Amino acid sequence: MESVNAGTPSASRPLSRSDYKTLSLSALGGALEFYDFIIFVFFAAVVGKLFFPPDMPEWLRLFQTFGIFAAGYLARPLGGIIMAHFGDLLGRKKMFTLSIFMMSVPTLIMGLLPTYEQIGILAPLLLLLMRIAQGAAIGGEVPGAWVFVAEHAPPRHVGYAVGVMTAGIVAGILLGSLMATLINALYTPEEVADWAWRLPFLVGGVFGLFAVYLRRYLHETPVFAELQKRKELSAELPLKTVVRGHKGGVALSALVTWFLTAAIVVVILLTPTFLQTLYKMSAVTTLQANSLAIICACIGCVVSGFLCDRIDGGKTLMIGALGLGVSVWFFYTSMALQPELLFPLYALCGFFVGFIGTVPYIMVKAFPPFVRFSGLSFSYNMAYAVFGGVTPMFVSLLVKWSPLGPMYYVVSVCGLGVLIGLYMASKGR
């Protein structure tokens, strides 16, 4: 494993006030940017009715609406690879600021777009274009954020830094959920369909631009500055170097990303729907439990990052994967007979979901500094596009076979996580 900040001045120092400022601004920006990316799904039904022909069958309208949502995921690898390329050649800060700008502007525009009734087929096409821009932005933001904070922190605090950053990103999902709840509580369905659906996009865009302004106060990472000073930047296309010389790092990063997607997509994003359809729980109850689980996941991100600094990434991944597998097992097997355990068990699952904070720690150490951004971005975005895109459909098929299908999937991936953790621990990583 590569030492993230080896060779930089004061490598063993404690976290300073400047470090905490960098972490705070980075995590806040990450939360706002992920809010912008995720808010679409909370208003998909309303947007579908406004941006597609009124005589279109409901199933086709929803299918096309979620297709536009999925386009954001498909654009992630390309955006991430391009931004990482320039991040390794021109600097982390430039791309870190550009990514949030690229997210904020399309989000703001989405809140101002005319509907199908006003401009016809141009409406869904413009919506698709904005969604692709959002996907490209998030593809650069998440890996860029991890690299940025990891290279700012002293080596013995890298886990804590990426854990806090991951907590900020996860908090973006909570912000989206709370905003959707607030809009639907304050306005009638008619008002939401008429104009109130625009508010979450406008608010996200404005706050995102504010985050762009705040990132002006961040400084380039000491690691990149040192590479620049020594003229040790990649002499060829960084991605070419990654694919040719760091296949092990790519494979490891892709596998731990699979663990991350299973935790976030199934346990956080899909489980409320399964609880409503399989166990007939109310939407209000499941969303409240989901919000609690997300809060616990944020706590788990920080705890797992702290543990990475103390006992290493492999052992922390092993603890997190084992804890998530066991808690998800108890959660799903208890819901049919003991629904009163929803809140405590979902909170426990959420806490162990937070052990995804181990994933960026493992990835930033898997690549040398001069191709770190490209290596992490390529591995993470390609794996997320595959596993994140396939997981919802695969788990939905499992549900037809058994109501415990989501549990079987998550437990299986957690088993893989334990094996990866064992392997890493045996290598002293």
pLDDT tens figures, 65-97: 767 767 777 787 888 888 777 777 777 777 877
DSSP codes, 323-346 = HHHHHHHHHHHHHTT-GGGHHHHH
**CA nearest neighbour of 424 among 382, 378, 366:** 366
For 131-175, what is each residue's pLDDT tens digit?
888 888 888 888 888 888 888 888 889 999 999 999 999 999 899
For 295-318, what is each residue's pLDDT tens digit?
999 999 999 999 999 998 999 999
Report the distance separating Cα 334 and Cα 117, nearest Å.
Answer: 47
Residue type, 83: M
List, in order of start, the domains of the chain with CATH numbers: 15-218 (1.20.1250.20), 236-429 (1.20.1250.20)
pTM for the structure as a whole: 0.85
What contacts 196, CB < 8 A, 6 or more positions away?
Answer: 183, 186, 187
Report the distance separating Cα 343 and Cα 331, nearest Å.
Answer: 10
Report the distance separating Cα 8 and Cα 237, nearest Å.
Answer: 25
What contacts 224, CB < 8 A, 6 or more positions away?
Answer: 91, 92, 151, 369
Q: Is the pLDDT of residue 104 over 80?
A: yes
DSSP codes, 122-145 = HHHHHHHHHHHHHHHHHHHHHHHH
